[in-house]
């Protein structure tokens, strides 16, 4: 039973365009959500996060949106760059417990 | 800071052999996590420690897996005996108290033949 779902295994975008990665969750107790980026042969690295009391958080080219009523969050990358090509993991946490990760979405940005 | 350090980076072993994976967390981090990544199951939590004490080991697949944290700067994940289905990338991560952000090592790619 997956509590965090990333339904799109892959996404292809042209350089300069917007990339939108989606994530759905089932547990209404989640209070914090994170996005991680992973390059081949490396560990996941933290990208951006959002608390459940907010609906948007922005950091440079990266923005995360949270829709609690729909139990949905998304990561927007604008503009997309070839260096953004990686696997993106969505993760969520309940206070006092470990993160639960989605299976990831592979983003390919072509120049 | 050097970040989370895992060793070895790659491990190839034969079925039935004992395998030990090692992790050095970031200094000052009170939480340490072991994850396994496979194509089928993605990133799944195996066990995590707080102040060297195991808090949740419900993700450990079976008794062949064991993890220890003898001190704040070292943890091991042991598989004995290993089986081909244990082949995966194993990640260690650490985080400080009060933070939801976990910092990952580069992982150990395990192949059991």
> How far is residue A82's CA from residue B2's CA, in Å, rounded to a whole number?
27
**Whole-number pLDDT of residue B40:** 86
Residues B66-101: pLDDT tens digits?
Answer: 999 999 999 999 999 999 999 999 999 999 988 889
Nearest-CA distance from A100 to chain B in Å? 8
Per-residue confidence band for B61, with pLDDT thresholds at 50, 70 and 90: confident
Q: Which of A1, A34, A38, A43 to mutate to test the interface with B (most CBs of B within 10 A)?
A: A43
Across the interface, do A42 and B107 touch by the CB < 8 Å criterion? yes
Average of per-residue pLDDT values in chain B: 95
Q: Report yes or no: A65 and A73 within 8 Å, Cβ to Cβ.
A: yes
**Does A109 score more than 80 pLDDT?**
yes
Chain B residues closer than 8 Å to A45 by CB: 104
Q: Which of B111, B18, B68, B89 is nearest to A39 (CA)?
A: B89
β-partners of residue A76 are A20, A63
Residues A89-99: pLDDT tens digits?
Answer: 999 998 767 89
**Whole-number pLDDT of residue B1:** 64
Per-residue confidence band for A2, with pLDDT thresholds at 50, 70 and 90: confident
**Does B109 score more than 80 pLDDT?**
yes
Nearest-CA distance from A71 to chain B in Å? 19
Q: Report yes or no: B58 and B27 within 8 Å, Cβ to Cβ.
A: no
A46 touching B (Cβ < 8 Å):
yes
* Count of residues in chain A: 111
Contacts across the A-B interface (CB distance below 8 Å): 47
Chain B residues whose C-beta is within 8 A of a chain A C-beta are 4, 33, 35, 41-45, 48, 56, 91, 93, 100-107
Chain B residues closer than 8 Å to A104 by CB: 42-43
Place of tokens 């940005």: A109
Task: Say which of A43, A93, A104 has its CB closest to residue B106.
Answer: A43
């Amino acid at each position: 039973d997956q509590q965090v779902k990333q339904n799109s295994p892959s996404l292809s975008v042209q350089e300069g365009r917007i990339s939108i990665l989606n994530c759905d969750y089932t547990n209404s107790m989640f209070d914090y959500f994170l996005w991680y980026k992973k390059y081949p042969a490396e560990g996941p690295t933290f990208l951006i996060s959002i608390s459940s009391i907010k609906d948007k958080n922005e950091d440079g080219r990266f923005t995360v949106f949270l829709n609690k009523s729909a139990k949905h969050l998304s990561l927007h990358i604008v503009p997309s760059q070839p260096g953004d090509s990686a696997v993106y993991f969505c993760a969520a946490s309940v206070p006092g417990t470990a993160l639960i990760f989605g299976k990831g979405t592979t983003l390919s940005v072509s120049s | 800071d050097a970040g989370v350090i895992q060793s070895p980076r790659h491990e190839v072993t034969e079925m039935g052999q004992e395998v030990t994976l090692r992790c050095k967390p970031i200094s000052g981090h009170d939480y340490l996590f072991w994850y396994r990544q496979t194509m089928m199951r993605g990133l799944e939590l195996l066990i995590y420690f707080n102040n060297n004490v195991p808090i949740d080991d419900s993700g450990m697949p079976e008794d062949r897996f064991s993890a220890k944290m003898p001190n704040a700067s070292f943890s091991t994940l042991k598989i004995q005996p290993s089986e081909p289905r244990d082949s995966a990338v194993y990640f260690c991560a650490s985080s400080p108290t009060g933070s939801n952000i976990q910092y990952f090592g580069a992982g150990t790619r395990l192949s059991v033949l």
